[in-house]
């Protein structure tokens, strides 16, 4: 028996990194998974691999900034398997030119918020209706530890967008708690994914981040997915509106270097 047997899940950003691992893990735990990603070809490859391994998956090419595409993504789950139980909003961006308020362009700010905030809002708009039709469900929104405290390496648009994710999640949790829908935020610390790798181009940058982590290492994507699996499953049935921080202790000791 899997922890997600008979559950229907949509996972955005599902073709690579933490998203791909989540799709594979959720399918292994018994969920029927829509692998959703802006790269439709890569999403199809992940779905094919899951099906070949004995799981159940379908693919959806989606730009989460576009309402019609998001609506079509949710429709894949409903049309394929009859509803939606889990919405895992993992898609996000962290532009390399995101810096201080003096450095960050309006274009970078708008792009970051369009994907990380508007995109999540649209996924919830269409996903929540499908969940209401299905009798309830669980929403997992990926935020970040920086939403709680800011980052030593300036990234004002990303940090601000993830703060918005926390607030939106709390609002959704409050609105729909009595209708059987739970919503929680997953807040990873620094994880070795392609998104982080571009900020670790040399050993000095790597050590600048590692010095703040009590465990002395970066997180692994699998460790974050373990948290998402908990939030998505019935193990977290009395948990909503919360922020699950998985960060190796960084938020308890974090200081800005001189």
Eight-state DSSP code of residue 117: I
- 115 CA to centre of own chain: 12
Task: Provide the token pair at 162.
Answer: 């993830």
| Cα–Cα dist 171/174, whole Å | 5
The three-state secondary structure class of 58 is: strand
Q: Would you call 88 a catalytic residue per the annotation?
A: no
The single residue of 88, 126, 158, 176 carrying the catalytic annotation is 158
CA-closest candidate to residue 10, choices 112, 122, 117: 122
**Which residues, in sequence order, are bridge partners of residue 10?**
34, 87
CA torsion 107-109-110-113 (nearest 10°) is 150
Cite the active site residues.
Answer: 158
């Amino acid at each position: 028996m899997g922890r997600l047997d008979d559950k229907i899940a949509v996972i955005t950003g599902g073709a690579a990194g933490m998203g791909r691992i989540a799709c594979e893990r959720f399918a292994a735990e018994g969920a029927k998974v829509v692998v959703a990603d802006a790269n439709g070809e890569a999403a199809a490859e992940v779905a094919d691999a899951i099906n070949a391994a004995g799981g159940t998956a379908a693919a959806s090419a989606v730009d989460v900034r576009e309402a019609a595409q998001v609506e079509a993504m949710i429709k894949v789950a409903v049309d394929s398997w009859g509803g939606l139980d889990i919405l895992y909003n993992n898609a996000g961006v962290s532009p390399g030119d995101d810096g201080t308020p003096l450095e960050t362009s309006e274009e970078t700010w708008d792009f970051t918020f369009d994907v990380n905030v508007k995109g999540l809002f649209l996924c919830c708009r269409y996903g929540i209706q499908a969940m209401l039709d299905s009798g309830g469900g669980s929403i997992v929104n990926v935020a970040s530890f920086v939403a709680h405290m800011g980052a030593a390496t300036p990234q004002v648009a990303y940090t601000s967008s993830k703060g918005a994710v926390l607030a939106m999640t709390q609002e959704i949790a409050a609105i729909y708690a009595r209708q059987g829908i739970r919503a929680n935020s997953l807040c990873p610390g620094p994880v070795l994914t392609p998104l982080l790798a571009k900020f670790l181009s040399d050993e000095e940058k790597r050590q600048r981040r590692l010095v703040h982590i009590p465990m002395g290492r970066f997180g692994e994507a699998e460790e974050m997915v373990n948290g998402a699996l908990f939030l998505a499953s019935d193990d977290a049935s009395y948990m909503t509106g919360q922020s699950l921080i998985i960060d190796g202790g960084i938020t308890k000791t974090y200081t800005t270097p001189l």
